[in-house]
Structure 1
Amino acid sequence: MNLEQLFNSSPFQVQISFHKVLEKLEKIAASDIDYRSDYAKALLKHASEHPEIRQGITDPADMEKHKSLIKNLLADLFPTALSSNEIKAATIPFYNITFNFTDRFKEILDEAGDSFDMNIRDLSDHEFYVLCCCLILNKYYGYHFDFKRPMFYDIPDAAGVIKHYRIMYNADFIDIIPTDKAIKITEEDVNLLMDSFDNLELWQEKFPATSWVLKGFAIMSLFDATTESAISNLKTNLLKTDEFDELTRSSLENIFKSIYNIPDLGIGFTETNIENNIFQLSPFEDVKSFILKTKKEINCNSVFCDGSLEKLMDKRKYFVVSDIENFANKCHGDADFAKHLLSQGIKSCILAPVIKNDKLFGIIELVSTRPGELNSINANKLSYIMPFLTDSIDRYYSELQNQVDAIIQKEYTAIHHSVYWKFRAEALRHINARNHKNFAYKEIVFKEIYPLYGQIDVKGSSTARNESTEQDLIKQLDRLLDLFSFIYKHEQLPVIEQHMFELKNMKTKVRKEFKADSEAVIQNYILHEVHPVLEHFDTVNTKIHEHITDYFDTLDERVKMVYDNRKDFDEALSIINKHLADVLDKKQAEAQKFYPHYYERFKTDGVEHNLYIGASIAPKHPYNPLYLQNLRLWQLQAMCEMENEYYKIRPALPCELDVTSLILVFSSPISIRFRMDEKRFDVDGTYNARYEVVKKRIDKSFIKDTKERITEKGKITIVYTQKQEEIEYKRYIKFLQHKKMLSSVIEHFDVEDLQGVTGLKALRVSVVYDANIESSQTYSYEDLLKELESK
């Protein structure tokens, strides 16, 4: 018995007393039944020698001292004949004060071990205090507050399986007595408390700590509700968990161990891909697959024989094997699968298909290392569990599909939310006409819209990529020459000399002229001719083996080539693209608030973006040319911020790269059409195609009559055709110069004639780099007008 209180405070002073038992014994002693009367008189005489038995015990040592007397006093309440069956003890409700256990209760606690501390599940300090107060209100004041809720002890058995026991109290032997510290409770107090469960301070105010005496004891009976409680816990956890991954394999296994009372029970899940007829790893983190073991996927027919597979996948019934060793000897069709399970130490199993709305998601696997533990009888327990698991798995896969769709829409398709309304309208039109055969999809076209195009391109990316490739190839050729020279000292074979000769020639050619096919030719030679030779000499002697091992350790694991400089280039390009795209996406979210418009961006050797604005894209919003002007100013400012982002990340790049920025101005409205075959928007019509031609050719063009590119690092180039466009953009530049985002010098020049395109002109202005540019606000066209009006 433990008199230690688990909670911070209580309104009670606890006095364990047997006064009510003694009062009943006094009545029996005065009766006419001789043997009952004599027995009661003997107990009363013994108890009278220890007045604390009636008055109340507060010292744990006294309880132990009176253990035999207490057992005799409670003999009628704890019949010896039921001691090995009932789980019963005397207690103080809600406290960790328990004594006079039945034999079965003792066995349960002995199996749990000395380290086990018996605590009521999920009973907080707050709830404990309020429950004690409600006990006072009900027992002393006569109210009927229903504070009962299912209470459980979670006790491990000898095998470590958690068993769940429902607690029931009989408080007939308890008196509640106020002390001089107790506050009299009024009707108004009760009405206030009734609506104030969460206000612990109020309860402590009305029932101060230790202001009441709880005198007596209660009878506590436990009911083994392990299966029901475990199923309830599983249901609760599945319902409250937003993501199935949050339910770890260990937590699921613990619940299933409690349900099945099998300490070595394991749980797994294998996803079923019906279309491809394969079992594959599920997306659930930390969940094993005993069907797959170490494989990622396997053909369904190679796992089970036709009969077993049909039972699982077509008839949707459980596949149960209670003795896998015996099953392997008798069922030759599934012998390989049985041996596969035996290799994992599995001796019995239940495989249950997970089905919702006639869709098979996968197979739940229950396994045990002992034969007979899992069988066709206890397999029926799954019928209580599977609905909850099925709903949760279905919910998870639905959420997973939503995430996939979101990623596809964001990363792979051009259906921007600004035009989603039109696609939805067409989809609904098609659904409503689904009874009409061969109902054609209507093309999605937006007319009379104004395009804006911009790009930040990595300058000389092709040259930088070639240089990094050349450096890696020369480094690898040098290492191979050194390696073959070392091998030749130990193995003077002509074939080694030949490879040294060929490697030297390749190195000379790479240094002299790096051609488009140089990388492929050298890589093919090294992988298919040089490396097989090295693999042969790897076993010749220890010294050669060490040098060959050192060489292979310097290679990239994926391509088996030196990939240091190319990796740095790829990483630098990836970092630039990610940071610039993030800036653009963030700015674009702000721009949509001005007026809805279509937006798409692409990551190439840099970041390109297209914007389209016009009344046909947002027919519910009145359109005004002011919105186009506002978007153009926004675009110029966004380019400045992207340049600044590059300026900030440049020192940390693994290799040095520069970027150039370009904006193309096109004032004539165009039409765009969604290409069903390519699943993307494109300009519509011959005239509109001129805009696309300019976009594709402009970034590599030169200033007219020079060999100087129109784009230059640290500057933004704005290409246009009409005088009014020049005037408009000079106003934007002047405004951003005032905002310290662009420098004071503006360059003007003509652009060389392109094939089919002449008369292009350009402005070029330097960016002012500022480490704090990210905190600047986005300026609108109205800000520009206010700035001009103030001057």
Structure 2
Amino acid sequence: MKKTILDLSESKGCPIEVDSAISFVPFIEYLRRKVKEENTVKAFLYKNALQEFEAQISDEEDISLDNIYKFELLLEHMYACLSPTLATEDTLAWGLCFPVQPITFYGTDLMYHLLETKNHDHNAYVISKTPEEHYKERLQLLYSFILKKLYNFQPPVKTHQFHTGIKTDTGLQEFFHVQINTDFIDVKAKEELPQLTIRELQQYLSDESGLDTLQHLLPLSLFEFRGISVLTVSDVTALHAVENIKKVRLTRSPGAEEASYAEVIQSLKTLVQNNNIHFDLFPFVKVNNKMVYGYVKGGSGVLFSVWGEQTLSPETFQQYAEGYAANPNSFYSPDILAESKEMFPWLDKFIALGVRSLALIPVFYDHAVVGVLGMHTWSGEAFDETTLSLLEPALNPIAQLLQVYIDEFNLEIENIIKEKYTSIQPSVQWKFNEAAWHHLHDKKKHLPARNESIGFNNVYPFYGAIDIRNSTAERNSASKADLGLHLSMLEETLLSLRSHDQSSLIEEMLFNCKKWNGILKEGELNTTEENNLNIFLKEETTEYLRHVAQTQPRAKEMIQKYLEIMSSGNGEVYKNRQALEVSMQMINTAINNYFEAEKEKLQLTYPCYFEKFRTDGVEYDIYIGQSIAPDRPFSNFHLKNLRLWQLSSMTHVVKMMKQLLPDLPVKLSTTQLIFIHNHTIDISFRADERKFDVEGAYNIRYQMIKKRIDKVLIRGSQERLTQPDKLALIYFNRRDIEDYLPFVKYLQETGVLHADTEDLELEDLQGLSGLKALRVLVL
């Protein structure tokens, strides 16, 4: 154990003045309780320690920091009683501190090593917190402690915290977990405390100036603190790096794959604490059970340079990849220049790229190889087997991430097939198989080809729509904001160019900037105006600025800076539209994934045709009936199950969107609509549109209704029927809705839907009148 007084507040600034002193009294009380409660042999440890404390310490005795080492034996007893039995001083960062002050006076060598390294080597770190933030953090901890002890109120402030710094020599983060145990500190009020209710305390703590209010109501000078803090410090850099990889896998959003994979690569560098080691993720994807090229998703790109389509033919790649997958072995060399070229001829390509140290690690998911994790350094750098072992905790998350990539690749292939080539689903595959067999039979028998239609008669339709609320208005708003910023930046650039270019053309450009700004402020742009504005911004002004840059060298740097900002798809002038697009994709992906999973469950109950459409949201058509599955008995119970599922799935979507809301860059909401048609219709497959459509005049009317009800208003008002957090059921006849009412009541009684329902009449639509609706709030 080490005896050194270390003041950690020196580099933090903003000291806090409090009446505090070291005292063993709270710990003595703890020992007395443990002696009474402990039934194991540890009772002897506590009893022996208590005897030592009572022999040397009198009640209410304060101890100065200068005299603390007179009680070294007592400090050793505290360490023995409070540290884990199997922990040793070289593996446990543990210490004792002055109460409510960042002053450590006793601890293990490892703790002092961690604290002194950060304290003395301060210039080697970029610290993520300012002195003011440290001051506020300490105040929060102090008042959390006071309120818990004296008001029996536990604010949502953690006594354990993560501290992070970035090493300036590597650019990599380091994470430290600091646990402050205040169980052995007593706080007493010197005067009578003001009466504060729990509601008042919650209000103060939730308010931005809550700490200032507490300092006024409960000044720190009102309290005295006596005892000892126990400090535990852990280096959790590796744990954070692995957790970050898991987080990337779980929170990836459409459109941000490149950034997500770059974050994974950075986490691997953090894990090995070496910015000179480079990584590559090389997933193995298959089409028709044969290896094909994937796409670069992160890393240096070395593996794709050596094994990619620019180097190997598809046939050669397939041969190499399948040979490796059949016998996946790890490879490691600290210096590939020293390896035998006869044994490893394939290293030549890595050598040509300038690689020195190289490791290739097969990654397995569910006992199958899903890719390769590549690890290398360039010439002049190297790593050893010890560094390789640091990657062990990350292999499982990396495997899961590669499997997600493979699943996404397969889903993308599947979606392309469904979208561009067929509308065939397993539930109706048999009908296409039958028609194909008839065609093949006639062909083999040299008979005239049958003009066979694929259709299903007397099926029950189910329609639902989840729409993103005000998506058009949100798009217009985002577009206006981005275009306005673009115009402002262009105008600023043009004004700066006046000193370099005195032509009339620049004045005309400035006039157009102001004109377009005026149009934007007046209201929404129509499609023609927006196209004209984009032509002005992206074509006319760009060509002009490039011309000026060529003729006026002094203006080149300024123009280049503007053009770079404009050319970047992720630039400032696209941020609102990108944020909206990401939010809409997140919503649609979540809903689409949910219904994909639900579709599979529905097929287990009874085969049905389930088709989804992506609009500004998700719509679906479900068809079910005896003709879909002639070999399985169909009954009214299958209809009842689907009706209940339709209601329940919509309520689940509402709850799912509420959970997703905090993660959306733009806060959007959805509306939920069901159209009830409890009569059978006929559907047939239209080869020209590659989808099923309704047949007959009466059935076509059903299709027409679906297309017109999404923005229907309540009769006699301007209120839209569909509203966020509510489920709307549209119908024509009362007997149609009656089949749903028992399930609505069931969901109300189980707390899924609100007890109150709205029975509404809807406005007449073109060719439609008499529509009604039931609307209910989802809890």
TM-score bracket, shorter-length normalisation = 0.3 to 0.5
TM-score (norm 1): 0.47
Rg larger for: 1
TM-score (norm 2): 0.47
